[in-house]
């Protein structure tokens, strides 16, 4: 990622309050449910995380036994807070420079959590096309974005001045098609306690019945898994 919002990316460290994440059993279960199983991941695969932030997902991958992993981000201040076991797997560099490196082997899984919304639609398409060229034959791309197709995702989408594009399930499918991928698997991020999720399901079920045009997904955040399009 490059500086597209002068004065805002430069204050990310103070705004976000960078701190080394702790990845315990709860976080492992969450990543298992949200990424590992839906994207059919395995410890023998190679992983690239674009926009890895403070390194929580990288630490999770190491806990799962993954050896071939790399996290990149645009902010050099992150190097001091990445968890020690994966700190040597962090690189502060431009994503397009990395993807254009002919010495890099293909990646089995590329992960972007809360990243794609920082790009314009055209730049997001270009990025996904570049990633597509560096995927292994059965490779997949996993993204998480605020759900602009429902009301609860808007606070996440518009709570960061560096966000450039609001994505809905419909526009994610359009983006996948434009970038040369198969129709993506789209699913929600489930947050909160079991009681909270049951309450949300009841409320959203009633609203879906009462409204003329309810959203496809009510969740504040969406996941999408992009797979390579089958050859004709």
User: Can you give the residue ranges of every domain in the chain?
Assistant: 18-227
Question: Tens of pLDDT along 159-168?
Answer: 988 999 999 9
- CA 203 to CA 111: how far, in whole Å? 32
Can you tell me the mean pLDDT for 101-128? 96
Q: Which CATH superfamily is domain 18-227 in?
A: Vaccinia Virus protein VP39 (3.40.50.150)
Question: Tens of pLDDT along 47-105?
Answer: 999 999 999 999 999 999 999 999 999 888 899 999 999 999 999 999 999 999 988 89
Strand boundaries in the chain, DSSP class E: 46-50, 68-73, 90-92, 107-113, 135-146, 185-188, 221-227
CB 222 within 8 A of CB 169: yes
Helix then strand count (H, E) for the chain reads: 8, 7
Question: Tens of pLDDT along 19-36?
Answer: 999 899 999 999 999 999
Residue 4 has pLDDT above 70, yes or no: no
- CA 54 to CA 104: how far, in whole Å? 23
Name the band, by pLDDT with cuts 50, 70 and 90, for residue 3.
Answer: very low
Residue 6 has pLDDT above 80, yes or no: no
Can you tell me the mean pLDDT for 121-138? 96
Kindly state the percentage of the chain with pLDDT values over 90. Answer: 81
Average pLDDT, the chain: 92
Question: Tens of pLDDT along 209-232?
Answer: 999 999 999 999 999 999 998 876
C-alpha count within 13 angstroms, C-beta hemisphere, residue 11:
8
Cα dist from 175 to 28, 167, 210, 223, whole Å: 30, 9, 31, 14
Cα dist from 184 to 5, 6, 34, 169, whole Å: 29, 33, 15, 9
- CA 132 to CA 129: how far, in whole Å? 5
Strand-pair category, 221-227 with 185-188 = antiparallel
Whole-prediction pTM: 0.92
Can you tell me the mean pLDDT for 137-147? 97
């Amino acid at each position: 990622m490059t500086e597209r919002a002068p004065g805002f990316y430069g204050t990310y460290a103070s705004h976000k309050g960078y701190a080394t994440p702790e990845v315990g059993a709860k976080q492992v279960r969450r990543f298992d449910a949200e990424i590992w199983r839906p994207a059919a991941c395995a410890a023998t695969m190679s992983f690239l995380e674009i926009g890895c932030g403070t390194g929580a997902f990288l630490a999770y991958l190491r806990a799962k036994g993954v050896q071939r992993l790399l996290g990149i981000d645009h902010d050099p201040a992150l190097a001091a807070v990445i968890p020690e076991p994966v700190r040597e797997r962090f690189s502060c560099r431009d994503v397009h420079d990395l993807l254009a490196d002919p010495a890099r082997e293909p990646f089995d899984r590329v992960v972007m959590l809360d990243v794609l919304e920082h790009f314009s639609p055209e730049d997001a398409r270009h990025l996904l096309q570049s990633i597509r060229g560096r995927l292994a034959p059965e490779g997949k791309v996993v993204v998480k974005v605020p759900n602009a197709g429902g009301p609860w995702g808007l606070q996440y989408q518009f709570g960061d001045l560096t966000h450039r594009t609001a994505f809905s399930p419909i526009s994610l499918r359009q983006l996948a098609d434009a970038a040369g991928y198969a129709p993506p698997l789209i699913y929600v991020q489930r947050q909160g306690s079991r009681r909270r999720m049951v309450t949300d399901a009841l409320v959203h079920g009633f609203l879906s019945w009462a409204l003329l045009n309810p959203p496809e997904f009510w969740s504040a955040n969406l996941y999408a898994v992009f797979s390579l399009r089958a050859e004709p």
